Amino acid sequence: MTAVADRRAYTTTLDIDGEHDATVSKVLTVHRVQVDTTVRVVPVDERLALEHGLRNRAEVRESQITQRLSEITLKEVDARRAFLINLSGFYEFTGISEETLPFNSSLNMLFRSRLDDLERRPRNRGVFLNLTVPLWDSRVNRSKVNAAVATVRQNELDVQENQRLVEQSIRATLTRLREAQGRVDVLGHSADVARRSCDISLARFDNGDITGQELALDRQRLTQARQAYLEAFIQYQLSLADLKRQTLYDFVQHHSLVENP
C-alpha cells in the first residue's frame, strides 16, 4: 500500500512538473526565446590579451599623451636659454594708379595704369638676420627647466603605474576565466552523474526497491546539480565578457574592438 501511494504521489509530482515544463516551453515558444547552455570553450591567447590591452586601454593612452606633451614643454622651456638665429627675407613690388586719371575711369584703365607704374617702380627687396644670445640667466629659466624635467619623470612613472594596473587587472580576469571554465567542467560532470543516478533510482523505484522519498531526494540532488552548473555557466560568460571589456578584443569573433583589421 505504501509503495502504491508513493508511486501515485510521485506520478502526480511528475504530472505537475510535466505540465510546468510544457507551460514554460509554450511561453518560450511564443516569445521565441532560445536558451543555449552549451559551453563552447573559447581559446584565449594570454599574450595577445595583455599586449592588446596595454596598447589600447584609455588610461594608458592618456598617460602616454600627457608624457609626450610634458616632453614637448621641456624642449620649449629649455630652448629659451639657447642661441637663436632667425634668417628672413622679402621681395616687394607695388603698382599704383596715376592720380591724374578721371574719377569715373574704367577698370581697364585703372589696371593698365597700375601695371605701368609697377613696371617703372624699382623692386624693394631685403634680408634680415636676427641673432639672439642669452647673456645672463637669473636662475628663473633654470628652475623652470628643472620643474619641467621633474614633470616628465613623474609622467613616466604614471605611465608605468597605469600599465602595471592594467596588466594586473587583465591577469586577474584571465585567472577568473580559467577558474570559471574549470568549475563548468567539474559541475557539468557532476550534473551528468546526478542525472544517471536519478535514472537508476527511477528504475529501482519502478521495481519497488526504493521509496518515493528516496527518489525525490535523488531528483532534488539532480536539480541542485543542474542549478550549480547553470550558475557556473553564467559566471563563465560574465568572465568572458569582462575579458572583452578589459582587453578591447573579442576572442569569440577574433577581432579588435578599436583597431582596424
Residue 2: per-residue pLDDT: 41
Share of the chain above pLDDT 70, in %: 77
One DSSP character per residue, 223-244 reads HHHHHHHHHHHHHHHHHHHHHH
Residue 152: per-residue pLDDT: 95
Q: Is 141 exposed, middle or buried (0-12, 13-18, 19+ CB in 10 A)?
A: middle
Residue 12: per-residue pLDDT: 44
C-alpha 15 chain-centroid distance? 50
Residue 24: per-residue pLDDT: 37
Residue 101: per-residue pLDDT: 67
pTM of the model: 0.63
Residue 72: per-residue pLDDT: 94
Residue 112: per-residue pLDDT: 74
The neighbour count for residue 187, using CB atoms within 10 Å, is 20
pLDDT < 70: residue spans in the chain: 1-39, 93-103, 111, 118, 137-138, 261
Residue 204: per-residue pLDDT: 86
Alpha helices in 130-211 (DSSP H): 140-206
Q: CA-to-CA distance for 219 and 216, rounded, in angstroms? A: 5
Residue 79: per-residue pLDDT: 79
pLDDT in tens, 1-57: 344 444 444 444 444 344 444 443 443 344 444 555 566 778 899 999 999 999 999
Residue 95: per-residue pLDDT: 65
Q: CA-to-CA distance for 113 and 107, rounded, in angstroms? A: 10
Residue 108: per-residue pLDDT: 74
261, three cell numbers: 583589421
Taking CB atoms within 8 Å and a gap of at least 24, the contacts of 41-44 are: 41/181, 42/240, 42/251, 42/252, 43/251, 44/174, 44/177, 44/243, 44/251
Q: CA-to-CA distance for 89 and 125, rounded, in angstroms? A: 8
Q: CA-to-CA distance for 10 and 8, rounded, in angstroms? A: 5
Q: CA-to-CA distance for 44 and 106, rounded, in angstroms? A: 81
